[in-house]
Amino acid sequence: MFRFEVERSGYISKSCITPYMSDQGYFYISIPIGSHGRVKRIWINRKAVVRQEEEFTIVDWLTYRKTEKGNIVLMPSDNKNSTIIYLIAKCGYRGSSKIEILTPETAELVFEGAIYDSPRGSLGVSSCGLYKVKDGAVFKISRTGRLYGADPVITVKVVFTHEGIDLIRADELSDEELAQLL
């Protein structure tokens, strides 16, 4: 499972998520949901976790299911047309951010969270969330606050490659350039 973070400068970083293990032996990831460090646990099916050397990682192709109580469980998927990503849009200093889905036919919000830069959010509130995406999903990221010259609105696109999943800035590339890269 990939974690994409759109930095304050507009740079997009990509990393793999390492799951935690509860006292009962179940795997989960934590998504911030508000002030004072509150988090929501997103549970992960044991079949979706792979041990690599000394640590655990989550497989790239995932789907999800909601339980009767409203818990979200991530499960492995054989479908290579869609997966789940964790997307974070960093806000400017003392600002906020918002993630908007521009192509609803290729992206679906699974869970939305908020990262507070201070205990009560006075230094900024960044938007984050889990999204079920297909190839070509487009997101619009709006940011406020002190961005030091960076663009307040960024459009990003999900691209499936033979190496996995990438998130690129769609507002910087034309369709011809994108076709040549793929």
Q: Where are the domains of the chain?
A: 2-181
CA distance 144 to 151: 10
Average of per-residue pLDDT across 105-114 = 95
Helix, strand, coil % in the chain, rounded to nearest 5: 5, 55, 40
Average of per-residue pLDDT across 93-114 = 95
Angle formed at CA 63 by CA 59 and CA 64, multiple of 5 degrees: 120
172, pLDDT greater than 70: no
Q: What is the band of 177 on the pLDDT scale with cuts at 50, 70, 90?
A: low
Phi, psi of 57 (to 5 degrees): -130, 165
Its pTM stands at 0.90
Residue 119 confidence (pLDDT): 87
131, pLDDT greater than 90: yes
What does each C-alpha distance from 49 to 66, 67, 85 come to in angstroms? 18, 19, 15
The fraction of the chain above a pLDDT of 90, given in percent, is 70
**pLDDT higher for 120 or 63?**
63
Which residues are CB-contacts of 81 (< 8 A; sequence separation ≥ 6)? 134, 135
Structure-token pair, residue 177? 């350039």
Q: What is the band of 173 on the pLDDT scale with cuts at 50, 70, 90?
A: low
Element (H, E) at 102: none
